[in-house]
Amino acid sequence: MAKEYFFDEADRTNAFITRLDVAMYEETGGPLEGKGIAVKDNISTAGIPTTCASRILAGYVPPFDAHVITRLREAGAAIVGKTNMDEFGMGTTTENSAYGPTTNPHDASRVPGGSSGGSAAAVGAGMVDMALGSDTGGSIRCPAAFCGIVGLKPTFGRVSRYGLIAYSNSLEQIGPLGRTVTDVNILMSAIAGPDPRDSTAYDRPYAHTLSGDIAGMKIAVPDEFFGEGVDPAVAECVRTAIGKLEDAGAETMPCSIPSMAYALAAYYVTCTSEASSNLSRFDGVRFGPSVETKRSWHDEFRDHRGALFGKEVQRRIMLGTFALSAGYYGKYYAKAQVARENVRKDFLRIFREADLIAGPTMPQIAFKLGEKSEPLSMYLADILTVPANLAGVPAISVPCGTVEKMPVGLQLIGRHFEDERVVDAAFAYETEVL
């Protein structure tokens, strides 16, 4: 039987693009029955506008639900709205949105992180208990760290991407955000599972009971996670948090990830190349509003995309198209894939001795609005999160203290399909400090 969920929370942070004042849910007896869930605006929802925070998709209403939305509805959840984001997931601040920036619930002069900033702000501000985001290079973990909540990027393939509007399909993954590790565990249980419509989705359901027992667990701490570019105050806060894990019985060991020197370059060549292909479908014929023009198809194609794509999206399409062009493919894209494989091998080498890798989620606290106006400066902020996406391993960000009264995130990274161990370690830390 369908019931009504009334959603009347004030949106002080511009977290939502679309809100449903009355959302429907079914009495299924599921773990999320009667819970209001916010969903990032790049995940398809039948009957609810889905724009990817872009003018090029204005007015688009999907005729189908993404696989994760179907599973949420089966678990009894009420979808209360679609959250703001960097356009097509391209950004680290949620300032690159056609619907205006989202602000941080802890300080309105700062960003919430990106690109799932709207989802994180909605949870951080107490509007909803849980939300879905997507993580291409840290887009769940970064806003979770900046907003003081928990965010999990699952193993690539653990959650179906069917219905996620593709930006960089070999890197991105849908994942849960919540106020606590328990919330994230419940939401992960609801969305993970096989899907015949996504050939990259594994048949590895997630049904996990949290355990805070990490006695004997070996945690590697890479030197590179505390090196150049990491705020000393953030580093100290995270080292203290790792000490709490030792207090809970874990053993720590130093390690090195030499391939991190090339990880960021490999990530941006890969994601922009895939973006140049994935976004080619937005040509003014099948989606979105039209642009007044009566010229040749090529000129109209250029005018349409130039008028409706944001600057950051246009920049990444140009970079990716250049990297894939004749004469440059081997020089850029092929080398990026070699560097990506080296990152994966470094993780596998460390995981032969250690169960987890720990370090800061972000190298500094939330930026001021407009602080990262120079693209390269914004790209460098992703240095600690992109390696997990390149390797396809699970990673979580859990709040571990404050610097200048702003939240800091502890990042825990695990082996492929050991999402449960990552979540347990985060739960152990959360239990230790509460």
Catalytic residues: 40, 115, 139
CA angle 249, 251, 256 (to 5 degrees): 150
When computed from its CA atoms, the radius of gyration of the chain, rounded to whole angstroms, is: 20
Distance between CA 29 and CA 97 in Å, rounded? 37
The tokens of 174 are what? 């849908």
- The number of beta carbons lying within 10 Å of the beta carbon of residue 293 is 14
C-alpha closest to that of 191 among 201, 199, 200: 201
Could you identify the residue written with the tokens 């994935």?
Answer: 278
* Whole-Å CA distances, 86 to 106, 122, 140, 142: 20, 15, 12, 13
Residue 45: left (phi > 0), alpha (psi -120 to 50), or beta?
beta
Judge contact between 342 and 259, C-beta under 8 A: yes
- The residue type of 29 is G
Strand, helix or coil for residue 333: helix
The tokens of 74 are what? 């089966």
Distance between CA 380 and CA 232 in Å, rounded? 17
C-alpha closest to that of 372 among 295, 286, 312, 330: 312
Distance between CA 301 and CA 283 in Å, rounded? 6
- The alpha carbon torsion through 111, 112, 117, 121 (nearest 10 deg) reads -130
Judge contact between 76 and 30, C-beta under 8 A: yes
Judge contact between 247 and 214, C-beta under 8 A: no
C-alpha closest to that of 137 among 409, 390, 400: 390
Strand, helix or coil for residue 252: strand
Judge contact between 113 and 92, C-beta under 8 A: yes
C-alpha closest to that of 325 among 276, 265, 283: 276
Distance between CA 94 and CA 117 in Å, rounded? 5
C-alpha closest to that of 383 among 408, 411, 407: 411
